[in-house]
Amino acid sequence: MSTNSVRIMLLTCSTRPTALGPAVAEWFGRTVAPLAEDLGVELVPVSLGELDLPLLDEEEHPSSGVYRQRHTREWSALVDSVDGVVAVTPEYNFGMPATLKNALDYLGREWAWKPIGFVSYGNTSAGTRSVQHAKQVVTTLRLVPLGATVALRIGDAVVDGRVRPDARWDGAAARVLGEVARLAQALRPLREAADDDAVEGPVPGSYLRRLTPGDAAEVVVLQRCCWVDEALANDTLALGPLHESLDDVRGWLTEWRATGLWRDGRLLGMVRTRHDDGTVHVGRLAVVPDLRGAGVGRWLLRRAQADLEPGLERVVLSTGARSERNLRLYESEGFAREGGAVDGVVRLGKPVPSPSAALAR
């Protein structure tokens, strides 16, 4: 699972001038701030009152993703940028406020596979009927509601317009943040796979995406399980991928263009490329042991060559002189050895293929 930090929208739903919503949201944000720092969570405060969305006024259905109004595009970008939501909501007449329903109805895919928690407030039911009403709607949008909630009865919890200190409510707030953070990480693979830019992989349910320094831990694990065979084949432990630290990997992930094949939060394979004076250097081609021989490495190698920029002339890569499996793969893909082995390493190269040829081989 990715170790990237998560961004959680803290959404204040009431728009009445004298509403308690801002005070409740301020209490929640202040209360969970130390835990948010420990969990790597960035809270993004958003007020529907300040956002000032009119009643839904788009011509196309939200599922189309065609937004003509500027306020819709801005709302879409804001929701797209977060990994989950905590909604601070009152209860109006046994239901959620119309402002929250309207904000939800504006969008479609942007909500999918994100957790949503609720901090409710009210009188008799402490706002819990508002939450139950909202859950019927959010599940249709593929938002995932939490089990943990905060429910504040105004007469007990609010003094002089502020939420009074109480260990019970502080603990409930911490449980909401902890659960939304864990679910946001767990659901990340579904969000990534559903992204418009995601490339479907060769393994059912897999997808390709760019690797970032936040993926360094998964890359370290993949390298160490894959290069053990290389070490055995070449009778040496002096292989960089076996010894690189997290910081080492984060460093080269910023310098190389690296892509990873993922499924359900697991890094199945990867490859990296770098350009230098018309030459493309390909490296770190790796596939998890249980998928070797299934064509995943060949697919990754071809994708790496298909995504090259124009104007490049040659593709080069290296492998151990006794890595017979690797050598057979590279030579079957048109690479030729360039000279003999140097320090136990063989260099291979070939002209840059056209993108269509790279994928069609």
Structural domains in the chain plus CATH codes: 6-194 (3.40.50.360), 200-360 (3.40.630.30)
Q: How confident is the model over 63-86, as a mean pLDDT?
A: 96
Do residues 75 and 107 lie in contact, with contact meaning Cβ atoms separated by under 8 Å? yes
Which are the contacts of 57, defined by CB distance < 8 A and separation ≥ 6? 69
Cα separation, 222 vs 241, in Å, equals 9
pLDDT of 277 reads 84
| Site of tokens 């909500």 | 111
Q: How confident is the model over 66-85, as a mean pLDDT?
A: 96
The pLDDT of residue 24 is above 80: yes
pLDDT of 28 reads 97
What band does 358 get if pLDDT is binned at 50, 70 and 90?
Answer: low
Cα separation, 317 vs 240, in Å, equals 15
The pLDDT of residue 1 is above 50: no
User: What digits encode the pLDDT tens for the residues 107-127?
Assistant: 999 999 999 999 999 999 999
**3-state SS, residue 345:** strand
Q: How confident is the model over 219-227, as a mean pLDDT?
A: 95
Chain centroid to CA 218: 14
Q: Which of 180, 182, 160, 162 is nearest to 172 (CA)?
A: 180
What band does 99 get if pLDDT is binned at 50, 70 and 90?
Answer: very high
Q: How confident is the model over 225-252, as a mean pLDDT?
A: 94
Phi/psi region, residue 259 (left: phi>0; alpha: psi -120 to 50; beta: rest), is: beta
The pLDDT of residue 357 is above 70: no
Cα separation, 314 vs 280, in Å, equals 6
What band does 66 get if pLDDT is binned at 50, 70 and 90?
Answer: very high
pLDDT of 93 reads 94
First to last CA, the chain: 33
pLDDT of 312 reads 85
The pLDDT of residue 5 is above 90: no
Cα separation, 143 vs 232, in Å, equals 47
Cα separation, 188 vs 102, in Å, equals 26
Strand residue runs (E) in the chain: 6-12, 41-47, 84-90, 115-122, 144-153, 158-159, 162-163, 199-200, 207-210, 257-263, 266-276, 279-287, 314-320, 336-337, 345-351
User: What digits encode the pLDDT tens for the residues 265-308?
Assistant: 899 999 999 998 889 999 999 999 999 999 999 999 999 988 77
Compute the mean pLDDT over every residue in the chain, rounded to the nearest whole number. Answer: 93
pLDDT of 194 reads 86
Do residues 279 and 245 lie in contact, with contact meaning Cβ atoms separated by under 8 Å? no
Q: What percent of the chain has pLDDT over 90?
A: 84
